[in-house]
Chains A and B, each alone.
Chain A
Amino acid sequence: MKEILRQCTLVVRKELLHLWRGRARLVATAAFAFANLVVFSFAGGLHSEALRTNAAGFLWVGILLASTLALGESFRVEVQNNALEAMLLLPVHPAAIFYGKAIGNLVLLTLVGMVMIPFSVVLFDATPAGGLGRLFLTIPFGAAAISAPGTMHAALSSRARSRDVLLPLLLFPLVVPGLVAAVQATQLGFVGDAMGDYGDWLTVLAGFCVVQWGLGGLLFSFVVEE
């Protein structure tokens, strides 16, 4: 267990270094998320009430769509030169690789989500009723709900010829429960939490994350080992 933890830390370090050296992935993901928000803002009609009431939904759908870029790319670099296989033959435990890469994707999606909050406020005219605290707290949980199953399914689809289509097809239905909880919690951040429901939705979101992160660690070896 201690060795897996050590290896996981080193995979995270490698992921963050790779993310920093190849900043284009971060910029592309953020740009795609921003483009989604802009499209939603026009599609919803300028200054419409519908934009304000659905701001959280637009924000998370934007992040989810953009996440497929980041997740797909995170395994393209592993498969391109067989780097994943080289890591397994070192040997590195598959669970350490899963958690390391999932944490790397979590950091990326959290950064993108944080950057998108101010744009959401402006584009959807959705001033946070109770300040930005709840919004910024929800983002890492929502990102975690996408990054763990996203990492698993990016690995699963990485060797498929139609991986760009396969990843969203596998991922989107799976993250619906987490997405619903993230949207509800974020919406309460925007409109205010008069009924005190924010904690409940955050708990649902955290529970979804625990299940997905646990399953990922258990099942990842079946995905990457021959």
Chain B
Amino acid sequence: MAAPALLAAGVGRRFLGRWAVRNVSFELPTGALLLVHGANGAGKTTLLRVLASALSPTEGSVSVFGGTPSGARARVSLLSHADGHYDELSGRDNLEAARRLGNLTGNVGEVLARVGLATRADDPVRQYSAGMRKRLAFARVLLKSPALALFDEPYAALDADGHVLVDTLFRELHAAGTTLVVSTHQVGRVAPISTHTAELASGRLVAFGRAGTDAPGEPVSTALPTGNLAEERP
């Protein structure tokens, strides 16, 4: 039996004495599309960064395709709030540097055209609007052709056309077998195509399950302590 795309076991992450995420456990099969939602400060960003190996968990463990998250980096992409671009370089230069450094097989010109940046590809990124920077970040994800892609607020800063583009990209990636984890407040846009949903509240996974089921409560964090997590101190 193939290893799940993601396996989180009791994952917790603490920042300077505050737990941003705690006791999160779930298993996500390969090819699934997980919608992660929750209020501001619920721990969505931290959870995605831990799953992508950008942060190491303070407690618990994460397995990606049966291996360690850092060992699976070549197969994983993270689109986060910070876009990872160099402002002085052009969009094309940024992607070309990433393609060469990561030995990526994608075509820079094609992915730039796919996200609607072909005409501005040679402009410095510092001249890009926030929405264009987000499109470039999407191009970077596409360039990598990851087996697991994690998106943190993918709709933020995008216009209406951008929203449609993101919807389309999610459908295409999902159809191609990519495992997707999408953290967003635009639940209505992603829910129709999601296979699994997870809800975070105060750093806890309060619900996890297959999308569309009436009782998406399995498995969830166990032994939940009471009280506001953000107030906890070790």
Contacts and interface: CB of A to CB of B under 8 A. Distances in A.
B186 interface: no
A196 B107 CA distance: 58
B9 interface: no
A10 interface: yes
Given A89-B53, A90-B73, A226-B55, A21 B88 contact: yes
Contacts of B2: none
Given A82-B84, A85-B54, A85-B84, A21 B89 contact: yes
B74 A10 contact: no
A83 B86 contact: yes
B195 interface: no
A86 B150 CA distance: 13
B54 A226 contact: yes
B124 interface: yes
Given A92-B102, A226-B55, A77 B86 contact: yes
A17 B86 CA distance: 11
Contacts of B102: 90-92
B101 A81 contact: no
B175 interface: no
A187 to B, nearest CB: 38
B85 interface: yes
Contacts of A90: 73-74, 98, 101-102, 104, 144
B54 A91 contact: no
B101 A89 contact: no
Q: Which 5 pairs across A and B sit closest by C-beta, in order of nearness?
A: A86-B84, A82-B82, A90-B102, A22-B88, A91-B73
